[in-house]
Amino acid sequence: MARILNEVSRTFNEFLIIPGLTTKKHTMDNVSLVTPLVRYKKGEQPKIALNVPFVSAIMQSVSDSGLAIALAKEGGLSFIYGSQSIESQARMVHEVKNHKAGFVESRANLTPEHTLLDVLELKETTGFSTIGITDDGSPMGVLMGIVTSRDYRATQTNLNRKVKEFMTPFSDLVTGRLGVSLTEANDIIWEHKLNTLPIIDAEQRLQYFVFRKDYESHKEYPNELSDADKRLLVGAGINSRDFSERVPALVEAGVDVLCIDSSDGFSEWQKDTIEYIKKEYNGKVFVGAGNVVDRDGFMYLAEAGADFIKVGVGGGSICITREQKGIGRGQATALIEVAQARDEYFEKTGMYVPICSDGGIVQDYHMTLALAMGADFLMMGRYFARFDESPTRKLLVGGNYVKEYWGEGSNRARNWQRYDMGGNSNLKFEEGVDSYVPYAGKLKDNLDQTLGKMKATMCSCGVLSIKELQTDAKITMVSSTSIIEGGAHDVIVKDNKNS
């Protein structure tokens, strides 16, 4: 018979953090959430550290360039989803790497022959109010003009009116030449009182836009995660099938860190992928692996050279791996064991390999619990899918606004590489569902609130860093009755909507 582990597989909901002494220095302003993303030797600093302990999941419905830019501005990092063409994924990485430099590729373009109706539809679809007008409607076509919301009045203008009739023509534009520095571009913007500066090459082809708002917004994001060249950091998901073609394109696009995306990472396929990257790029790009749920899985990937390791099988809100295959482990139990293995590996080798908790987060306090249990950072999908910046549609369903959210193991994603078991077979059954999540608004507003809760909890524990949380915090298990006691009970809660 199979070996039976008598320890109960537990979830975050079965634990609480016990308060510690809060001194006068334990204020939210003093709390640091900086945490390592990639492996480092004892006595050294990691080559990449997050300013907030969050990364976004490698999912079509979560991590595109838009969310990657928004999250990096807040100090976290996104892994651009890999279940798309190599060219498309590389382009998304390129968009993120070029955003912080202030030179932004145009993502909304039309030709002079399009109409005002086309402008309004494009603005509704993309959310962009500045539209580059090029000869062929491509992002890098010959610049003919630009259209902004100041060029038309949607309620009083004929919707069939041609763009060429109301756009600001090239002859009236102030432009910058390709090769101009960001400082010089900003000087031009200020000198001419512009909101947008198009950057063109010698053949008048549009290359980038520089926006006044990007310069002004820098001060709003003190935690911004950027490289030595002040470009935003970005990750990308890969699989263990086409990595030899995909990885070179992503590295050329500027990706900072890769992550092998698989429901079960304890495999020779992942080892082969890691070894290829280490051999071919030798520190030029980092690679994480997973997912695993026990000591054996961690040790295998750590010794293979993984720069971080993801923990969790079957705990995601849209994941049905446990239902379909009967494999997995309660996220809390898995995380505790893997954290112990990480510390053992560090003591033995002097190499610290960060672990990422992936799945099982329902309440905001579960995030702090996961960190206290040993996670260095968290990967979340449902949390980020709710925001404006995620790539899915916002819909009105049953009187409430929602956003679409589907698993990478769903038929909609068709990401069979994530569940690769070798051979030539494709996905035979689904391990994820197609769903909705409640729409929550802007990422920044929600993340500020979440981080506020996390810092408040840490202050109540008497700690000022994630490392202190892991060494000094006390955690207790709770009974089912205690869980009920923790929420509102024995009262009639007012309906604030009607008050």
* Catalytic (active-site) positions: 319, 418
**What is the rounded distance in angstroms from the CA atom of residue 413 to the CA atom of residue 415?**
5
Per-residue tokens: 226: 């950027």
**What is the rounded distance in angstroms from the CA atom of residue 197 to the CA atom of residue 183?**
13
Tell the residue number behind the tokens 């003591």, with chain if given: 347
Beta-ladder partners of 450: none
**What is the rounded distance in angstroms from the CA atom of residue 324 to the CA atom of residue 180?**
56
Residue 102: count other Cβ atoms within 10 Å of its Cβ.
23
Per-residue tokens: 461: 């524990």
CA distances from 58 to 88, 236, 258, 418 (A): 15, 8, 10, 10
Cis amide linkage into residue 160, ω under 30° from 0: no
Q: Which of 286, 230, 238, 247 is nearest to 98 (CA)?
A: 230
Instruction: Say which amino acid occupies 125.
Output: T
Strand order in the sheet with 143-147: 109-110, 131-134, 143-147, 168-169
User: Which residues are CB-neighbours of 288 under 8 A, at least 6 positions away?
Assistant: 38, 257, 258, 259, 260, 306, 307, 308, 309, 310, 356
Q: Which of 376, 372, 365, 381 is nearest to 456 (CA)?
A: 365
β-strands 196-200, 206-211: how paired? Answer: antiparallel
Instruction: Say which amino acid occupies 398.
Output: G
**What is the rounded distance in angstroms from the CA atom of residue 107 to the CA atom of residue 130?**
9
10 Å CB burial of residue 144 (0-12, 13-18, 19+) is buried
Tell the residue number behind the tokens 């030539």, with chain if given: 424
DSSP 205: B
Sign of CA dihedral 242, 248, 252, 256: positive
Sign of CA dihedral 376, 14, 463, 454: positive
Segment (H or E) for 165: helix 163-166
DSSP 142: B
